[in-house]
Structure 1
Amino acid sequence: MLAPFLVSAQGFKLPKNQKFQRVGFEMVNNLIIIPVEINGAELTFVLDSGVSKPILFNLSDQDSIQINNVSEVTIRGLGDGEPMKALSSMGNTFKLGNAKNYNQDLYVVLDKGINFSTSLGIPVHGILGFDLFRDFVVEINYGTGNLKLHNPIHYRPPKNNKRAQTLPISIERKKAYVEGIVLMKDEDNVPVKLLVDTGSSDALWLFHQPEKGLEIPEKNYEDYLGRGLSGDIFGKRTKIRGVKIGDFELKDAKAAFPYRESFGYIKNLGDRNGSVGGEILKRFNIIFNYRGGTVTLKKNANFRTPFQYNLAGVALQHNGLRYIAESIADFNGVVRNDDDTFGNVQILLENKTRLSLVPEIIVSGIRAGSPAAEAGLLEGDVILAINGKRIHRYKLQEVLKMLNEREGKRVRVLIERYNKDLLFSFVLKNVFE
């Protein structure tokens, strides 16, 4: 099992006497977004332990990058769509600080429909996973937003700690698996083998395997679970009594049963029962040691954070840019922009009106029977304000949080539809009542 690590002649390396490289990251929707330099171009990637080779996508007209030794291939990922054509490239230079790989393979997806930036609210150009975990001991501190890429030669495991536990992982087909227990109904505790997937923003995915005790609970609803390389992923959203990984137990855990069609490219699931994603992983600071076959979990301040559900039933995404007009009460000839989120293109008119170019946020999906659907919101509606707050001042994930703050809260949403402003009001409900 460990042989591939020992014989790899290429890969990421640190300077000879450097023990580790620290890399700051931004966490967006439970995903780790890291800066990566490829052949001199500065890009941003999702750190995705579920991907075996880096995949580059979402290259806009403003992005310029040289890639080497190209050939055409066909690839497929999660989702119920068809396989897609991509470019396979060899001999590229990847850099994360002083961590460098001068001979990195990657895929380039040219389909412009593969764009995670619109749903995350920040530019994201690709996903990167196994190669980093193979070559370093990867320490993720979700609390401080830092990665430490440890040189395995110099790495020393942490001392025993009551809040931390080191567990075995298995590395199969360049992916890590951990064993756990899911607590189903009627005191039924089911042992499971889970893919450790930092590239999933969800909490827990389980395969519908009644013969193994993994039956979908009666209280569930159909939901959009995310976007894969091969299309959208749908399934049944539900809640289970809990999940245990090692000695750590999370009660009333959020779970989903994705439809089997989304995993069509996997002919045989083997003994895998699902995956554990970012909404659970962020509750720990984690040390992945692929060479040693271990993962160390230490509870952090997120451990008891309630699981987040889409109470409103609305999915949002960016949809290009739009102008907004704001009157300026006190004009002294200087345009101030204290809120440096998106609105950084401004025109000042003589009648003390400021035009700002800001991202347009639209409703990209609505769950049938949800409070938003019953109130009359429609796919394609442009969100203008929530509870009186103009949303152009906020990041996309902050807007989503406004829409799903807490059960029982009344939400008033101002939208634009066919050049008319409309106001809708609804109460957030317990999705399992």
Structure 2
Amino acid sequence: MYKRLPLFLILFFIGQILCKAQVPGFFMKEDKRKVTLPFYSSNSLIILPVSINGSTPLNFLIDTGVRSNILFSKTLGDALDLEYTRRIKLVGADGTEDLMASVSPINNFDLGPIEGIFQSLLVLEQEFLELESVIGIPVYGILGYEFFKYNPVKINYDDGKIIFYKSGALKWKPLFYRKVNMEVLDNKPYINVTVKQKDGSVLKPKLLIDTGANHGLLLNRETSENITMPSLFIESALGQSLGGILYGYVGRIDYMKLANFKLDEVLTSYPNETPYSYVIKESGRSGSLGAEVLGRTRLIFDYQRNRLLVRKAENFYAPFQFDMSGMSLKKIIDDDNRIYISEVRPGSPAGRAGLQAYDEIMVINKVPTFIWDLAEINKLLRSDPGKKIELEVRRYDGDDVSKYTDLKFTLILKQQI
């Protein structure tokens, strides 16, 4: 004969269930130890389809470097019938532009076997569509801290899969993984690594782990007088942020150790100081680790236990290669796969060949551009020194797209750093 549970225990269990149901976060829909989410990867950036309040799935970037979930378009937010409670001002990463965002406080995110409940969204009032032009596919927003805060999350770049674990799982370190102490401050994860610079000095900088940044190692010189530039570097645009394009320099360090795994000749970005630099200084960090390094590993983020678990991926020892053409490419945001040159570095192979900014690339090595992915083209342009690249481009006469000249160019890739 079964004994009856005391009333206070019944109420306690009901209270526990209700409390869990009311806590904002990401949870598995079924009671399992883990579930798997396949993701699309572009230059090791992680993109997942997310349905908002029952909408058609939209591509979102998984980004440990941001605190809040972000939607890039107020027009899209209105079409989704989002409810807004207030407006706030955001500061772009370059510190020169204020961005206004509307706050939508309660939303449901559906990722198949996972759902995000009571999720707040910052909806940018100024359309931000630049990620599509850089990545090559539409990206409508960012999932940040909320995705990681309760559950261990394994990112397997080799297989293009995220494994989302039950919150109590992974009490023990999996085989072949090494533990790195991780500190979560202001909803962002930080670790310390070892860096040997080209002048022979050794640093142990505190770095933000930033899965949403496409650089490798980034060091902010304004945070420490011990950060030195290598003698060989080039001036370059470093990446696209919400506040605009970040500029600075790219060079190499001698090596970096992550969990005692050694990476040689790591490409390193040195951004120019900006009005936003005070935020970086106040955080105590000296830079960040981006997808170019993280994509060479398998990672387990375990925010609840303040640890990052690291294992080498198949491409861990692949050399770090920078663009060897001297031109930056972007996709025209329309239904066609059209690629144009956004910038040409003076004195580079592309510059010496005569290519110019705003030339539209029509054919690469006799293959029409619409067949290429933007990521494939960028991979080609950083492949092998001495490789010959044949381009057919269309050069327009000012803003009149009906007037143009079709031209042919040949350039030879050359390693510049």
TM-score in terms of structure 2 length: 0.88
C-alpha contact (below 8 Å) 2:77/2:123 kept by paired residues: no
Moved over 4 A (4+): 58-63, 209-212
Is 2:405 the counterpart of 1:427?
A: no
C-alpha contact (below 8 Å) 1:406/1:428 kept by paired residues: yes
Question: What letter matches 2:82 in structure 1?
Answer: I
1:50-89 aligned within 5 A = 50-58=65-73, 64-89=79-104
The 3-state SS of whatever aligns with 1:200 is coil
What's 1:347 paired with? Answer: none
Q: What are the Cα deviations for residues 138-193 of structure 1, in whole angstroms up to 9, with x where unaligned?
A: 110111111011111244434443xx211110001100011111111243211111
**Alpha carbons of 1:60 and 1:429: their partners in 2 closer, same or farther (altered >3 Å)?**
farther
- The alpha carbon displacement at 1:200 in A equals 0.6
Question: What letter matches 1:108 in structure 2?
Answer: V
What's 1:33 paired with? Answer: 47
C-alpha contact (below 8 Å) 2:145/2:188 kept by paired residues: yes
Comparing 408-417 and 171-180, the one that deviates more: 408-417
C-alpha contact (below 8 Å) 1:77/1:265 kept by paired residues: no
- The alpha carbon displacement at 1:100 in A equals 1.8
- The alpha carbon displacement at 1:79 in A equals 2.2
Is 2:390 the counterpart of 1:405?
A: no
In structure 1, distance between residues paired with 2:333 and 2:75? 13
1:74-223 aligned within 5 A = 74-161=89-176, 164-209=177-222, 212-223=225-236
The 3-state SS of whatever aligns with 1:291 is helix
- The alpha carbon displacement at 1:390 in A equals 1.5
Question: What letter matches 2:369 in structure 1?
Answer: I
**Alpha carbons of 1:387 and 1:266: their partners in 2 closer, same or farther (altered >3 Å)?**
same
What's 1:248 paired with? Answer: 261
Q: What are the Cα deviations for residues 302-339 of structure 1, in whole angstroms up to 9, with x where unaligned?
A: 10112120111111112145xxxxxxxxxxxxxxxxxx
What's 1:353 paired with? Answer: none
What's 2:58 paired with? Answer: 43
Question: What letter matches 1:424 in structure 2?
Answer: F
Find 1:19's aligned residue among 21, 33, 45: 33
**Alpha carbons of 1:183 and 1:297: their partners in 2 closer, same or farther (altered >3 Å)?**
same
Is 2:328 the counterpart of 1:315?
A: yes
The 3-state SS of whatever aligns with 2:218 is strand
- The alpha carbon displacement at 1:424 in A equals 1.4
Comparing 294-303 and 364-373, the one that deviates more: 364-373
**Alpha carbons of 1:75 and 1:62: their partners in 2 closer, same or farther (altered >3 Å)?**
closer
What's 1:351 paired with? Answer: none
- The alpha carbon displacement at 1:74 in A equals 1.0
**Alpha carbons of 1:154 and 1:270: their partners in 2 closer, same or farther (altered >3 Å)?**
closer
What's 2:7 paired with? Answer: none
What's 1:274 paired with? Answer: 287
In structure 1, distance between residues paired with 2:94 and 2:308? 29
Question: What letter matches 1:73 in structure 2?
Answer: I
Is 2:327 the counterpart of 1:293?
A: no
In structure 1, distance between residues paired with 2:77 and 2:109? 20
Unaligned runs of 5+ residues in structure 1 are 1-5, 322-356
In structure 2, distance between residues paired with 1:64 and 1:208? 43
The 3-state SS of whatever aligns with 2:323 is coil
C-alpha contact (below 8 Å) 1:19/1:155 kept by paired residues: no
C-alpha contact (below 8 Å) 1:358/1:392 kept by paired residues: yes
- The alpha carbon displacement at 1:68 in A equals 2.4
In structure 2, distance between residues paired with 1:385 and 1:9? 53
What's 2:395 paired with? Answer: 417
**Alpha carbons of 1:63 and 1:72: their partners in 2 closer, same or farther (altered >3 Å)?**
closer
Find 1:376's aligned residue among 330, 336, 354: 354
C-alpha contact (below 8 Å) 2:152/2:169 kept by paired residues: no
Question: What letter matches 1:133 in structure 2?
Answer: F
What's 1:364 paired with? Answer: 342
C-alpha contact (below 8 Å) 2:92/2:242 kept by paired residues: yes
In structure 1, distance between residues paired with 2:81 and 2:270? 40
In structure 2, distance between residues paired with 1:14 and 1:210? 40
C-alpha contact (below 8 Å) 2:342/2:357 kept by paired residues: yes
Q: What are the Cα deviations for residues 76-132 of structure 1, in whole angstroms up to 9, with x where unaligned?
A: 231243111111110111122232222111101132244311111111001112001
In structure 2, distance between residues paired with 1:129 and 1:62? 18
What's 1:232 paired with? Answer: 245
The 3-state SS of whatever aligns with 1:67 is coil
- The alpha carbon displacement at 1:212 in A equals 4.4
What's 2:15 paired with? Answer: none
The alignment covers a number of residue pairs equal to 389
- The alpha carbon displacement at 1:224 in A equals 0.5
C-alpha contact (below 8 Å) 1:316/1:364 kept by paired residues: yes
C-alpha contact (below 8 Å) 1:219/1:238 kept by paired residues: yes
What's 1:10 paired with? Answer: 24
Q: What are the Cα deviations for residues 393-433 of structure 1, in whole angstroms up to 9, with x where unaligned?
A: 1111112223332111122211001221111122111213x
What's 1:341 paired with? Answer: none
Identity within the alignment, %:
30
In structure 2, distance between residues paired with 1:248 and 1:361? 38
In structure 2, distance between residues paired with 1:211 and 1:293? 26
**Alpha carbons of 1:373 and 1:262: their partners in 2 closer, same or farther (altered >3 Å)?**
farther
Find 2:367's aligned residue among 382, 386, 389: 389
In structure 1, distance between residues paired with 2:310 and 2:289? 13
In structure 2, distance between residues paired with 1:30 and 1:60? 29
- The alpha carbon displacement at 1:136 in A equals 1.4
The 3-state SS of whatever aligns with 1:201 is coil
